[in-house]
A = this chain, B = another copy of it.
Amino acid sequence: MARKATFYHAGCPVCADAETAFAQALDKDAFDVEIVHLGEDKSRLREAEAAGVKSVPAFVIDGRAYHINFGADLAALK
């Protein structure tokens, strides 16, 4: 069964770049990738924070947060 990978972003240039480099590059046979725009879908902020996301762009894979470079602080999206 595919592992779930959630990519959180906010439409920033750093986010778009990371999405191209990683979110579209993960092995599709191994990962079920969901892309969440936290600027447009603020209802997902709580879940991102609970997984340890501090800034975007970030992935959550197997319940762990992986921040890729720095686009925006999560606090700026509230």
A residues with CB within 8 A of B: 5, 17-18, 21-22, 25-28, 30-31, 59, 61-62, 64-69
Contacts and interface: CB of A to CB of B under 8 A. Distances in A.
Contact of A66 (B5, B26, B64, B69): B69
B69 A69 contact: no
A66 to B, nearest CB: 5
A66 B66 contact: no
B21 A66 contact: yes
Most chain B C-beta atoms within 10 Å of own C-beta, residue among A17, A31, A64, A66: A66
Nearest to A29: B27
Nearest to A14: B66
Nearest to A61: B21
